[in-house]
Amino acid sequence: MNNRTVLAADIGATKTNLGLYNLKDGLDTPMKEATYASPQFKNFDVILEDFIARDNNLKIDMACFGVPGPIEDNRASTTNLPWLIEAGGIESSFNIKKVLLVNDLAATAISIPHLNSEELFCIQKGSWSEKGNIAVIAPGTGLGEAFLITAPYGNRIAQGSEGGHADFAPMDQMQQDLLTHLRERIGHVSYENVCSGRGLPNIYDFILEHGLAKEPDWLKERLDGCGDPVPEIVRAAIKHGDECEICDRCIRLFVAILGAEAGNLAIRTMATGGIYIGGGIVPRIINILDSHHFLKFFLNKGRVAGLLANIPVQVIMNPKAALMGAAAHAITALTQVERVII
């Protein structure tokens, strides 16, 4: 059994990570890893073909793919990509014994017990509960949310969600004005519309159009010449700070909204085992997140503020946590199947 091979993937709107793992080596030493720019490929099968086709003698016993979107009958249409992923078709096309699909944030949640302290950044120490539920919120291209529920016998069950599409609830007058601004333009306003890679430009445009801060000429030139404004907004906020007021205010409003929704998720899931923040944006703005601006809104929950003050809050610094989680899920599934067979 120790020589069995599993395939894992973390499929994202921006990039897709893949990894091959052997059970005898565990998660720390993958046999092979690769990263692909998702928008450059018409479907996931093309990426998979490139990743494994050269290994003619490769035998894959189990695969698990983290998918950004709802999964039904082991098939999924990705939320921010025009891809249809069908586990059964992949099993047949690539001669894989079993393919499992999980929500990408569920895969991140599964990785939490496998992360070490060096892969996490503590925002609030809290009082960690070994048996408590764990929740994950991740602003990436979209906004993902998932949680690990502690079962009666101590094991944890991962559950993905589409919570990022829930209604945005303003916490102060500025956020109320942001909601009104966006409602006039797009109709329904979800947390993903204001707390993700898709949401940051919405916040930026709101600040600019309402005259809350000026746009420097040098920044306007950069934004006009780029396809994705998010890296430029984040970079300007980090590098220039108060000298680029519009980006500074944009990121701080983003962090406030993230703090509020992270608090909502903690309450809904009773996440006494911790709230973990993933995604590609947050690790880059740790200094702003760690300035108590996040916690101000995270803790602003009235009578349950004391509960939230005891919940650990940590940022996932490992960009391949979801890939690790998918691999861990595949290994667990394979081990359980072979235990039954034996």
Model pLDDT, residue 2: 62
pLDDT tens-digit map of 232-260: 999 999 887 667 999 999 999 999 999 99
Name the band, by pLDDT with cuts 50, 70 and 90, for residue 311: very high
**Residue 231 sits in the same domain as residue 179:** yes
Segment 259-268 mean pLDDT: 97
Q: What is the pLDDT of residue 330?
A: 93
Give the CATH number of the domain where residue 82 resides. 3.30.420.40
Helices 173-186 and 199-209: crossing angle, nearest 10°?
110
Q: Are 173 and 300 found together in one domain?
A: yes
The mean pLDDT of 304-320, rounded to a whole number, is 96
Using pLDDT thresholds of 50, 70 and 90, give the confidence band for residue 62.
very high
* CATH code for the domain of 179: 3.40.367.20
Higher model confidence: residue 215 or residue 240?
Answer: 215
What average pLDDT does the segment 115-141 reach? 92
Q: Same domain for 51 and 175?
A: no
Residues in Cβ contact with 129 at an 8 Å cutoff, skipping those fewer than 6 apart: 272, 273
At residue 13, the pLDDT reads 85
Express as a percent the part of the chain with pLDDT over 70.
96
Domain count, the chain: 2
Are 181 and 279 in a shared domain?
yes
- pLDDT at residue number 278: 95
Report the alpha-carbon distance of residue 113 to residue 92 in Å, rounded: 33
Strands, E assignment, the chain: 5-11, 15-22, 32-37, 62-67, 71-72, 75-77, 84-86, 99-103, 120-124, 134-139, 143-150, 156-161, 275-277, 313-316
Does pLDDT of 38 surpass 50? yes
Q: What percent of the chain has pLDDT over 90?
A: 72
| Residue 53 confidence (pLDDT) above 50 | yes
Distance, in Å, from the CA atom of 320 to the CA atom of 279, rounded to the nearest integer, reads 10
Pairwise CA distance, residues 119 & 257, whole Å? 24
Task: Give dist(CA 24, CA 27) in Å, integer.
Answer: 9
What is the model's pLDDT at position 156? 83
Reported as a pLDDT band with limits 50, 70 and 90, residue 54 is low
Is the residue at 254 inside a domain?
yes
pLDDT at 55: 64
Looking at residue 131, its pLDDT comes to: 85
pLDDT of residue 1 exceeding 70: no
Q: Look at residue 334 and tell me if it is in a domain.
A: yes
122 located within any domain: no
Whether 133 is in a domain gets the answer no
Task: Kindly report, residue by residue over 195-206, the tens digit of the pLDDT.
Answer: 999 999 999 999
Looking at the structure, do residues 63 and 105 belong to the same domain, yes or no? yes
Shared-domain flag, residues 100 and 174: no
- Rounded CA-CA distance 96/101 in Å is 13
| Same domain for 289 and 246 | yes
Give the pLDDT score at 185: 95
Give the per-residue pLDDT at 342: 33
Q: Is residue 327 domain-shared with residue 251, that is, in the same domain?
A: no
- Mean pLDDT across 219-224: 92
Predicted pLDDT at 341? 39
d(CA 9, CA 107): 10
Question: Is the distance from CB of 271 to CB of 135 less than 8 angstroms?
Answer: yes
Whether residue 334 sits in one domain with residue 312: no
What mean pLDDT value characterizes the chain? 91
Whether 177 and 311 share a structural domain: yes
Domain limits at 99? 5-111+320-341
pTM, full prediction: 0.91
- The reported pLDDT for the residue numbered 57 is 72
Q: Which pLDDT tens digit goes with each residue over 102-112?
A: 999 999 999 99
In a domain, 155, yes or no: no
| Same-domain pairing of 232 and 305 | yes
In the predicted structure, residue 302 carries a pLDDT above the cut 50: yes
Per-residue pLDDT for 340 more than 60? no
**Chain segment 319-339, per-residue pLDDT in tens:** 999 999 999 999 988 887 554
Sole residue written with tokens 């039904």: 72
pLDDT at 14: 86
The pLDDT, as a whole number, for residue 337 is 56
Of 207 and 225, the structure prediction assigns the larger pLDDT to 207
Q: Is 128 among the domain residues?
A: no
- Pick left, alpha or beta for residue 73 (phi over 0 → left; psi -120 to 50 → alpha; otherwise beta): left
Q: Is residue 158 part of a domain?
A: no
- Provide the pLDDT for residue 334: 86
Residues 87 and 231 grouped into a single domain: no
Residue 261 inside a domain? The answer is: yes
Higher pLDDT among residues 20 and 59, named by residue: 20
